[in-house]
Structure 1
Amino acid sequence: MRGIRIPALATAILAALMLPVTLLSPASAAPSVSVRPLPLPQGGSPTVPYVAGHSGDFDVVDGATVVPVPTEEFDTVALLGRAGTGYLVRIVSGDRVPDRVVRVEPGKAPKQLAEAEYFETSKLSTNGRYLLLTAYPSTVVVRVLDAGTGHQVARHSFRLATEPLPLDVRGTKVVIGGWAPARTMTWDWSTGAVSTIANRSAYAASYATNRLASYTMRPNDAGACSVVSTLTSPGSTTWRTCTEKVASFSPDGARVATEPIDHQDVAYFVKRRSVNGTLLTTYTNPNGVWAAAWETKTRILLRSYANDGASWLVRCEAAACERAARGNVG
């Protein structure tokens, strides 16, 4: 397996020696693994794009391709994803001016596609074709931009109370989470039609894998739960949890990476589960750990912090983990 250079037998023996006995009992067979980065062995570089660098000096790295990001001192960068032959990044300004969404591409000058206030969302569709934005004037406007040119493809206004969250696109249809009341909607920009398809508020979706995650109420409310379902049957329940939320779906939709739901107020673990909720692995770090990206349908990158505050990408295949690079994804 590319990247993971710990032999499987040695990994199993090492895990057995290091894990508490309770974690190996039949009742709790899924392992729990510390992913504090510096004690882990160094492995190969990430096989997906990521952001490397430090304040004011960032690059998008994708294998042998390194593309500078136009930043200033105190700026930070979030990678939205690969869009054709380029990459979309959100540059968070250190002096509170609006953030910038910029397209960077090898051999071409950076192109600013949009500006966004810190509370306004920006997301790249899973097919890499569209940039989905929210803007808050007197109403909330959902905008769809061409991820290559920045040309506006469509826009729709919602009430402020709706707080629309655009998540993904298929054809001319956008799936959107909303509130007041909690609901999941689709907006078809070819007809202008907005339809409610479920009475929970969607926060993660993938048309490519037919997956949807939604909240029963606002996630910082103590009684809030998260429900996984399909986009073709959005009102159904594949798995429900009131302590975790979906951070991402695997590329084939068979697994999910979860983090603590907001009302848990912790950031010490990521759990790898099957899409029906079966626990596969728990990854822990008292300094903080978050799901970053999937390299394959089973191999995940985690954003894990060292004692000195440095952000590392840690690669894990089940319980075998290693450092991949300093940096972040998303």
Structure 2
Amino acid sequence: MTAAVLAALAPVTATALPPAGGGAPTSTVSTATDRAVPKTVLNPGQLERGAGPRVPRVLGTSIVDGSLEVPVDADEIDLLGPAGDDYVVVAYDASGGVVERVSPDGSTRVLRESNIGLNELSSDGSQLFDVVTRGRDRTVVRVLDTTTGEVTARRGFPGFVDVLDAADGVAVLGGTAPRRTISWDTATDETTRIVSRQGYRADLAADRLSTFSGDPYDGGCSRITPLSDPARTLWRSCDDIEVAASPGAGRLLTVPLLLDGPLSEVAVRGAAGRLLGGYGTRGTFGPLVWEDDRTALITVYGVRRTAVVRCTVAGPAEDRTCERATRLIPTPGL
């Protein structure tokens, strides 16, 4: 984390907090007219095969990392992220889900026997955050060591909270009832209110925070700010939300704020929201991540076949192409 971010997350008095609605926007507001920009339609079966993904992805019930493919014995898996040379996944079968640490040789170790909440992995893979809602007015967050499975910290929060990002023992949480974004030092158990808006995405390394100005189902808009200065708006949109920022935070992947049905379009934008391009599919999109500052990895569930697709979004027009980063598999459910 940068010094600016660390300073912003340090305990402060109430008078030092940034105002909930403070700061004038420093960029234009996107509108629905962005939809008129042509999209590249992705059909996995029509794309050439390229190199394997340089960040781990899921294909069916396997983890794909470069040329390595690790099958996991489960009906379905969600990848939380890497932990050293291993991977942390939520593995589901007919009896429910468990959180496992998976080694490259396919061996597994259970970290959490019963998965009934939300999970977030710290950026270095050392901490697993287990988020469980208790009734309507309380959320309990536990921190587990991903090597031993031992619970190293635990705290209850009023209302609903979710862990947005974590690094170096500090987590950023977004919550409702009341709406707020806070940081939590898991070693000292100190919490700090960052801003009085509900955070939905944070990136400690890139110093970025995405929040809602209000209930998105009742006119609330998305607002992207520096995490260290949440009163300064970088981009505001009432039509789209950010789902992934490139490592240098220079480009964004965004999707419609309110979806009615499967996700079938994704936009590529500059840091201030300028539309750079977009992708569509006749099927549906799965997880969206950045491989580096120039390439995005998009899981495409095609009408018949599925693959992780790599798209280059920067450079000369002739270089902005897409290819498959994995083999093809039948689309689940067919």
2:50 match: 43
Shift, 1:69, TM fit: 1.6
Amino acid at match of 1:236: R
Per-residue CA distance 1:284-324 (angstroms, 9 max, x = gap): 1132224522111110011112112x332111002411222
Shift of 1:31: 5.0
Which residue pairs with 2:79 in the alignment?
79
CA distance in 1, matches of 2:110, 2:222: 35
CA distance in 2, matches of 1:303, 1:218: 29
Match of 1:323 in 2: 324
1:198 to 192, 195, 198: 195
Alignment of 1:1-330 (within 5 A): 32-53=39-60, 58-71=61-74, 75-93=75-93, 95=94, 97-107=95-105, 109-117=107-115, 120-137=117-134, 139-159=138-158, 162-219=159-216, 221-262=217-258, 267-308=263-304, 310-318=305-313, 319-325=320-326, 326=328
- 1:269 shift after superposition: 0.7
Deviations 1:68-100 (A, max 9, x none): 3232xxx2111111111100111123x2x3311
8 Å contact from structure 1 (residues 270, 290) kept in 2: no
Deviation at 1:30, TM superposition (A): 6.2
Change (3 A) 1:113 1:28: closer
Asked if the contact 1:243–1:264 (Cα under 8 Å) also holds between the matched residues in 2, the reply is: no
- CA separation of 1:323 and 1:106: change in aligned 2, threshold 3 A: closer
Amino acid at match of 2:125: G
Q: 1:239 Cα shift?
A: 0.4
User: Normalising to structure 2: TM-score of the pair?
Assistant: 0.79
User: Take 1:28 and 1:109, find their aligned partners in 2: how far apart are those partners?
Assistant: 46
Q: Work out whether residues 84 and 148 of structure 1, in 8 Å CA contact, stay in contact via their aligned partners in 2.
A: no
Distance, in Å, in 1 between the alignment partners of 2:211 and 2:53 is: 30
Give me the whole-angstrom Cα distance separating, in 1, the residues matched to 2:124 and 2:205.
8
Per-residue Cα deviation, 1:177-201 (whole angstroms, up to 9, x for no partner)? 0001211011123332222211211
Aligned letter for 2:310?
R
Q: Is the 8 A contact 2:296 2:311 kept in 1?
A: yes
Deviation at 1:261, TM superposition (A): 1.4
Given the two structures, how large is their TM-score scaled by the length of structure 1? 0.80
Distance in 2 between residues matched to 1:148 and 1:252, nearest whole Å: 29
Q: Which runs of 5+ in 1 are unaligned?
A: 1-26
Tell me the amino acid that sits aligned with residue 136 of structure 1: T
Once residues 303 and 33 of structure 1 are traced to their aligned partners in structure 2, the CA distance between those partners, rounded to angstroms, is 15
Match of 1:323, as an amino acid?
Answer: R
Post-superposition CA distance 1:41-81 (Å, at most 9, x none): 3323222212234xxxx33222233333232xxx2111111
Q: How many equivalent residue pairs?
A: 288
State whether residues 132 and 167 of structure 1, in contact with CA within 8 Å, keep that contact through their aligned partners in structure 2.
no
- Structure 2 alignment gaps of length 5 or more: 1-33, 314-319
Offset of 1:265 from its aligned partner? 5.0
Deviation of residue 128 (structure 1)?
A: 2.0
- Shift of residue 134 of structure 1? 0.3
The 10-residue stretch of structure 1 (34-43 or 293-302) with the greater mean CA deviation from structure 2: 34-43
